[in-house]
Amino acid sequence: MSKRLISLAAALLMGTALCQPVAAQEASPWQVRLRLLGVLPDTGGSTVTVQGVPALSSPNSGLSIGNSIVPELDVTYYFTRNLAAELILGVTPHNVSGNGALTNLDIGRAWLLPPTLMAQYHFTDFGAFKPYVGLGVNYTFFFGQSAGYTPTNGLGVTSFSLNNTFGAAAQIGFDYMLNRNWGVNFDVKKLLLRPTYNATVNNTIAVSGTANIDPWLVGVGVTYRF
């Protein structure tokens, strides 16, 4: 009987050991999210310098940059349960127009590609609710740029370009995990994005300045943990 009990116990222990990697498997360090993102520029403080026309320069004129809604993909790698790095990828289209003395002047349009790398801290004491905060840096590429040609009050922008630039980023959000792999996500980021730009009006008047885009990025989506 003793030998049978020992054999049975050994079999149970072996079975438990074999099942343990499946039952208590550590989560993969990789995670992806797909979000629908609202991009909300905050252009206060943008500067405009119109060569030879002081009356149109700052603070009498400024920029207005349109909002957009786009898909966004991010990839996260967990170094520990709490510390992670996240790479955020997405492109956004924006229309740029004037305000103040340049109100309704169609300046141009551009696409932004702002890959952003975040260092994150994830809080792990709230069960399925997993909040996090992050700080990071982005480098924004501008492409598909074109000038607004429609004259307004005799003014028409005939060339326009934004210059690539670095910027800082901050983030707060949470995942709510529905099961081991799938969850829902809500995330808010703020980018400090202030590229310089150059434009030409009527092929003769040079315009330059800084575009304080500084967008809020508000996203909601799904999370998948490998």
160-199 pLDDT tens trace: 999 999 999 999 999 999 999 999 999 999 999 999 999 9
Please list the residues that pair with 121 across neighbouring strands.
Answer: 83, 133
- The token duo for 27 is 């989560």
Regarding pTM above 0.75, the answer is yes
Tokens of 190: 């703020």
Q: What is the largest CA-CA distance in the chain?
A: 104
Q: Look at domain 28-225 and name its CATH class.
A: mainly beta
Instruction: Render pLDDT for 116-146 as a digit per residue (tens, 0 to 9).
Output: 999 999 999 999 999 999 999 999 999 999 9
Tell me the domain boundaries of the chain.
Answer: 28-225
> Which residue(s) pair with 224 in the sheet?
32, 182
